[in-house]
Structure 1
Amino acid sequence: MPIDPVKAVAAEPRTAEIGWGHKDVQLYHLGIGAGVPATDPGELRYTLESRLQVLPSFATVAGAGMAMMGGLAAPGIDVDLAHVLHGGQAVELHRPLPVEGSATTTARVAAVYDKTKAAVVVLRTEVADADGPLWTSEAQIFVRGEGGFGGERGPSGRLPDPAREPDRTVDRRVREDQALLYRLSGDWNPLHADPGFAALAGFDRPILHGLCTYGITLKAVVDTLLDGDASRVTRYATRFAGVAFPGETLRVRMWREPHRVRAAVSAPERDEAPVLADTVIDHS
Structure 2
Amino acid sequence: MKSNREFIIEKFREVKALEFVKSNRKHNTGIGKTFEDYLGIVENNLDEPDLAGYEIKAHREESQSYVTMFTKSPNFPAKANAYLNSRFGIPYEDNPSLNKLHTSMFVSRFNTLNGKYSFKLINDRDAKLLKIGVYDINTKTLIDNTAGYTYECLERILNKKLKNLFYVSAEREYRGNDEYFHFNKAEIYSEPSLERFLNLIDEGLIMYDIRIGSYQSGKKYGKPHDHGSGFRILEPNLRLLFNQHETIE
Report if TM-score (shorter chain) is over 0.5: no
Larger RCO, structures 1/2 (Cα 8 Å, 6+ apart) = 2
Q: Which has the larger radius of gyration?
A: 2
Task: Write 1 or 2 for the structure with the bigger share of strand.
Answer: 2
